[in-house]
Structure 1
Amino acid sequence: MKIGIMGAGAIGCYLGGSLQHAGHDVTFVGREGLAGEVQEHGLRLTHYQRELIHFPSDQVNFVTAPESLAECDAVLVSVKGTATQDVAAKLSQIISPEIIVVSFQNGVRNAEWLKEKLPKNPVFPGTVSFHVLREPQATFHFGTSGNLYVGTPEPARSLSSQEEKLIESLKSAGFKTVVTKNIAGVQWCKLLFNLNNAVNALSGVPLKEELSHPGYRRVLSACMLEGLEVLDRAKIRPVRVGGMLPRISPRVLPLPNWLFFRLARTMISIDPESRSSMWDDLHRGRKTEIELLNGEIVRLGSKIGYPTPINQKVVQLIRAAEEAGNGSPAIPAETLEEQVLASRSNK
């Protein structure tokens, strides 16, 4: 298949590189800075359990303008959620109605925004439950276990032969790919766990180190429990995604280390150097997706009239870090716990 990657960052480059390694014709659309890295170093994919994949620069079709996506059979959208609506408008001027579009992005509303601008295209919501970290010299590291999830078509129908072919292409590239009727439940589960993106970004330490500290875990637990309360009141039911247990994990997180490490082996099955994409955004001076993660809990809470002081405080701290422009504020666990949990008194 001819597959386009709209938003060739960490996730996009790993998806596209893996698809190219499996024999597919891939076009990467991304930023000029990364295009320069690829031109100089090629594209490198590393994995915590597999061998290095390296494409020399002359084998990578990496461009900065999306016009070439018109020739693709499918476009995988992996831009930051904050850019989705602008990207949707651009794609509406470029791609024909038969081109398949799949959103592999954080958040729960991206496919909806894409469909608004691409009403005639088959648009699928998707979720990525693994983590990829961008490293120097156009290197992308797959640091955790996880799957790809793709929602079934709406209104309900069978997948077309071309859509089936895309799913098989993703599987052939080494991704466990699950087609589900309850993609909303999957997305909300992922969002609850992605509330840790902000905690990790504020901590300034790798994910494994962060999750090894009870103070940071208590902050994450509080964010998740508040999120679950909002979802319950909104009658939204997140579902289990692999080892992500949305109702059990917040209860396990505050446990003492000796017990947590026994019960949460999947949660801490992380490469020692992996960090969240939000930490990476702060490190690179870019706007984060905080409004689509903790901010989504705040938005939904406001909509149903339920206060969300914990997640509001985390949003506030990330916004302050964005404005400061100095990367992660590297807040110690005890300080972050005090700042965030004290916000409960304002509820």
Structure 2
Amino acid sequence: MKYAVIGPGAIGSIIYCILEDKRDAILITKPYQLKILKEKGLKIKEFNKTVRTIRNVNVTSSFPKLKEVDVIFLCVKSTDTKEVAKKIKGNVKKSALIISLQNGVRNTDILSKITGITSIPGVVTFNATLNEIGEALLTMKGNIYLQNNKEFEYILNDIREIFNSSSIKIKLVDDIISLAWSKLVINLQNAITAITGQTIRQSLIDPISRKIIYHTLEEGIKVVEKKGVKLGFSFVLNPKLLLFLLRLPTFFIRFGVRLMRIESDAKSSMLQSILRGKPTEIEFLNGEIDKLARNMGLKAPINRELVQIVKEMERRKEHRFISPLELAATLGIN
């Protein structure tokens, strides 16, 4: 069984290191990333402790190499899905499987339509930061949930076996769509961190940021449930439980943050994109809620405004953050 990982970001780097330790694996990157990884290798840290270093990374920027591969883990931003899918098309065998470990709920449909290859969604519950190309830091522990698929049962069992010896486990579920929507709703808070510049821990401990997150998620839950999606059957990905927790006193929040082992420098993927001057996934998260609401004749004013603010930050390509107090006033949250 041969594996490929597309995208050497924080998630992709960690996935590649786990696969490479047990199976034949290749990492596909952009040319400039290839040069850096060839020179520096790949280092993975867990809570600031180095747990794996690969000097000779099996890395390429050549998509035709996918013809040798059985399973592709796609770990690029949702904004890049269509472009990458076009590069995969014609360069992969028809029996291959694509596993999307991306934010949002539409990536697998796009992938299957463009490539003609079976694509299944995965939901990642751990957090990681890319310190620089070739160095990823695991900042919050979690697992990966994958959609059960009888046709690819052998492959999924092999993947589960590979990950069993790592700190990240594979969980196979029958209703990945509900989990994906649950994660999308929880990830609506990423926009708040991107606008204020706060780390995940800071945004949860700050009472004003916490209030903004609460109203943002509450609005998202109402829209998604109106669509008929069942949310929160998993303890880890339970937006309604998170709403309850967000209303607890700060003392309990601090305790919970320590219990979850959220590192002080853990940043949301959206904030990481803003800091690098890269496009964010705002349209695939808060934008998805706004679009869904409008399609159903509803309104999602908080999420819509967050989309506009983040898109303006992308346009300016500068790190001019605003305070939680200013953001709350802009959103009309008292």
Q: Which position in structure 2 is the counterpart of 1:281?
A: 273
Amino acid at match of 1:72: V
CA distance in 2 between counterparts of 1:321 and 1:107 reads: 21
Q: Which position in structure 2 is the counterpart of 1:332?
A: 323
* Deviations 1:92-119, CA, capped at 9 Å, x for gaps: 2100111111011001111111111233
Amino acid at match of 2:274: L
Say if 1:135 and 1:79 are closer, same or farther in 2 by CA, change over 3 A. Answer: same
CA distance in 1 between counterparts of 2:292 and 2:36 reads: 40
Matched, 1:5 2:5: yes
CA distance in 2 between counterparts of 1:173 and 1:274 reads: 20
Matched, 1:18 2:30: no
Q: Which position in structure 1 is the counterpart of 2:220?
A: 227
CA distance in 1 between counterparts of 2:234 and 2:37 reads: 33
Aligned-partner SS, 1:230: helix
Amino acid at match of 2:205: S
Matched, 1:218 2:211: yes
> Contact 1:207–1:274 (CA<8 Å) still a contact in 2?
yes
- Give how far 1:48 is off: 1.8
Q: Which position in structure 2 is the counterpart of 1:297?
A: 289
* Deviations 1:292-342, CA, capped at 9 Å, x for gaps: 000111111111111000000110110011011013x32111111111235
Say if 1:233 and 1:324 are closer, same or farther in 2 by CA, change over 3 A. Answer: same
Matched, 1:139 2:135: yes
Q: Which position in structure 1 is the counterpart of 2:100?
A: 103
CA distance in 2 between counterparts of 1:149 and 1:128 reads: 7
- Give how far 1:63 is off: 1.8
CA distance in 2 between counterparts of 1:289 and 1:267 reads: 28
- Give how far 1:168 is off: 2.2
- Give how far 1:284 is off: 1.1
Say if 1:266 and 1:150 are closer, same or farther in 2 by CA, change over 3 A. Answer: farther
Say if 1:268 and 1:341 are closer, same or farther in 2 by CA, change over 3 A. Answer: farther
> Contact 2:231–2:238 (CA<8 Å) still a contact in 1?
no
- Give how far 1:137 is off: 5.5
CA distance in 2 between counterparts of 1:111 and 1:159 reads: 16
Amino acid at match of 1:78: C
Matched, 1:183 2:180: no
Amino acid at match of 1:233: K
CA distance in 2 between counterparts of 1:227 and 1:31 reads: 35
Amino acid at match of 2:304: Q
Aligned-partner SS, 1:190: helix
Consecutive unaligned residues in structure 1, runs of 5 or more: none
CA distance in 2 between counterparts of 1:147 and 1:229 reads: 27
Compare 220-229 and 166-175 and name the one that shifted more: 166-175
CA distance in 1 between counterparts of 2:107 and 2:132 reads: 29
Aligned-partner SS, 2:91: coil
CA distance in 2 between counterparts of 1:36 and 1:211 reads: 38
Say if 1:86 and 1:188 are closer, same or farther in 2 by CA, change over 3 A. Answer: same
Amino acid at match of 2:90: Q
Matched, 1:43 2:35: no
Amino acid at match of 2:27: F
Give % identity. Answer: 26
Find the partner of 2:239 among 239, 242, 246. 246
Amino acid at match of 1:132: A
* Deviations 1:194-222, CA, capped at 9 Å, x for gaps: 11211111121222122110111111111
> Contact 2:46–2:137 (CA<8 Å) still a contact in 1?
yes
- Give how far 1:255 is off: 3.4
> Contact 1:195–1:293 (CA<8 Å) still a contact in 2?
yes
Say if 1:301 and 1:235 are closer, same or farther in 2 by CA, change over 3 A. Answer: same
Matched, 1:62 2:54: no
Compare 164-173 and 293-302 and name the one that shifted more: 164-173
Report the number of matched residues: 334
Matched, 1:160 2:156: no
Say if 1:174 and 1:98 are closer, same or farther in 2 by CA, change over 3 A. Answer: farther
CA distance in 2 between counterparts of 1:82 and 1:222 reads: 26
Structure 1's consecutive aligned runs of 4 or more residues displaced over 4 angstroms after TM superposition are 265-268
CA distance in 1 between counterparts of 2:156 and 2:249 reads: 46
Q: Which position in structure 1 is the counterpart of 2:230?
A: 237
> Contact 1:77–1:104 (CA<8 Å) still a contact in 2?
yes
Q: Which position in structure 1 is the counterpart of 2:305?
A: 313
Amino acid at match of 1:331: I
Say if 1:80 and 1:52 are closer, same or farther in 2 by CA, change over 3 A. Answer: same
CA distance in 2 between counterparts of 1:301 and 1:295 reads: 10
- Give how far 1:283 is off: 1.2
Amino acid at match of 2:18: S
**1:110-125 to 2 correspondences below 5 Å:** 110-119=107-116, 121-125=117-121
